[in-house]
Amino acid sequence: MLDHRLDEEYVALRSTVAEFARAEIAPVIGGYYEREEFPYPIVAGMADMGLFGLPFPEAYGGMGGDYFALCLALEELARVDSSVAITLEAGVSLGAMPIYRFGSEEQRLRWLPELCAGRRLAAFGLTEADGGSDAGATRTTARLDGGEWVINGSKSFITNSGTDLTSLVTVTAVTGRREDGRKEISAIAVPAGTPGLTVAGKYSKVGWNASDTHELSFVDVRVPAENLVGERGRGYAQFLRILDEGRIAIAALGVGLAQGCVDESLRYAAEREAFGRNIGAYQAIQFKIADMEVRAHTARLAYYHAASRMLHGEPFKKEAAVAKLVSSNAAMDNAREATQIFGGYGFMNETPVGRFYRDAKILEIGEGTSEVQRMLIARELGMAA
């Protein structure tokens, strides 16, 4: 019989993360957001809880859980704040996961224990200024010279790339040409602090202001040949797999934001009075909040379904794209409606819904735009490119 109820372990994890978010994040995150400051104490708290090691085996310092456990944690974090949630998502599904999925055993033993413990963070260097959604347009190059890769190029919008905890960034680079003339793209791990690797100043962003995002430049950066992650020439395919998984995680984050909008709107509707009554007594507000709950609920089922297929070893590319598209839409729509319910207060940065409104838009862009998700869904349905 089909049953969407969670196992006790998942329920316990969700409850623990929710309590941490309410008690440790909610009271202080507004200050970090306003100062555009990375919340090191909060990240340390998440590390102590083992969140950075959730989907990894104990042999590498992980918690022995699965990807769905990570998604549940992301949803509860984003229900309070998305900057903290994206720090975890990028650190795990984009930073550490390429090493786990495709790295050698030596690379796993070298890097994963500290990444799983949350003592260090890894980044995912795919996007370039002129590439955007066209990841195959990579211009960064890497050539072998005396047993070392020499890397030149740049990467844009890279999360967790400039913190005091950053240990490495796995980058895609053109390492040659195939027989048919197409680019051979490989993935290479570059430790933080490697000579020639420059971390630019932090971006001035619309949202996610308490997360870390930088442009990276590589000028004759030399790393050992054994820093190749996975097979030479398979870097693009590897990162597409990472992005498919990451879309489920981003969907969970979007659901968290959408549900957080419901939470805040319910609270405010019970407190705010207009024309002698709480505004929650008016059907116009009730219907808005009901529609918001429908969006969050529907998007949650979508990412649950995608995660289930992934964990059962079934194809999930289409389902991940559906989940990402539905949840990002839900986040944007709910943030807009929550801001409307709050009125003028919703336009203030110090309110959670003000932050939710600013944070929601990037969910329609990062890890594949909404247009890319529709393209993927159409292709999976058998429609010609």
- Which of 72, 97, 122 corresponds to the end of one domain? 122
The yes-or-no verdict on residue 138 having pLDDT over 90 is no
Residue 364 falls inside a structural domain: yes
Mind listing the pLDDT tens digit for each residue in 21-35?
999 999 999 999 999
- Considering the entire predicted model, what is its pTM? 0.94
Q: Is the domain of 331 the same as that of 200?
A: no
End-to-end CA distance of the chain: 38
List the CATH number of the domain containing 46. Answer: 1.10.540.10
The yes-or-no verdict on residue 178 having pLDDT over 60 is yes
In a domain, 46, yes or no: yes
124 bridge partner residues: 170
| 137/254 same-domain check | no
- 146 in any annotated domain: yes
- Domain span holding position 332: 237-380
340 versus 128: which is more confidently predicted?
340
pLDDT in tens, 41-80: 999 999 999 999 999 999 999 999 999 999 999 999 999 9
Pairwise CA distance, residues 137 & 39, whole Å: 34
Which of 66, 95, 122 is a domain's end point? Answer: 122
CATH number reported for the structural domain that contains residue 339 in this entry = 1.20.140.10
Question: So which residues are the catalytic ones?
Answer: 367
User: 281 and 202 in one domain?
Assistant: no
pLDDT > 70 in the chain, percent = 97
Indicate if 243 and 291 belong to the same structural domain. Answer: yes
Mean pLDDT lowest for which of 23-27, 255-259, 272-276? Answer: 272-276
Phi-psi category of residue 317: left, alpha or beta, with phi > 0 → left and psi -120 to 50 → alpha: alpha
Q: Is the pLDDT of residue 87 over 50?
A: yes
Q: What is the pLDDT of residue 1?
A: 45
Environment class of residue 177 by beta-carbon count within 10 Å: exposed (0-12), middle (13-18) or buried (19+)? exposed
* Mean pLDDT over the full length of the chain: 94
Tally of structural domains, the chain: 3
Same domain, 225 and 260: no
User: What's the pLDDT tens digit per position in 149-172?
Assistant: 999 999 999 999 999 999 999 999
10 Å CB burial of residue 320 (0-12, 13-18, 19+) is: buried
Given a contact cutoff of 8 angstroms between Cβ atoms, the answer to whether 192 and 146 are in contact is no
Report if residue 52 sits inside a domain: yes
Of 66, 91, 122, which residue is a domain's last? 122
The answer on 76 and 188 residing in a single domain is no
pLDDT band at 103 (very low <50, low <70, confident <90, very high): very high
Residue 1 lies in a domain: no
- 116 with 141, same domain: the answer is no
Please tell me the distance from the alpha carbon of residue 351 to that of residue 81, in angstroms, as a whole number: 11
Question: Is position 252 within any domain?
Answer: yes
Establish if 219 belongs to a structural domain.
yes
Confidence (pLDDT) at 182: 86
pLDDT in tens, 185-225: 999 999 999 999 999 998 999 999 999 999 999 999 999 99
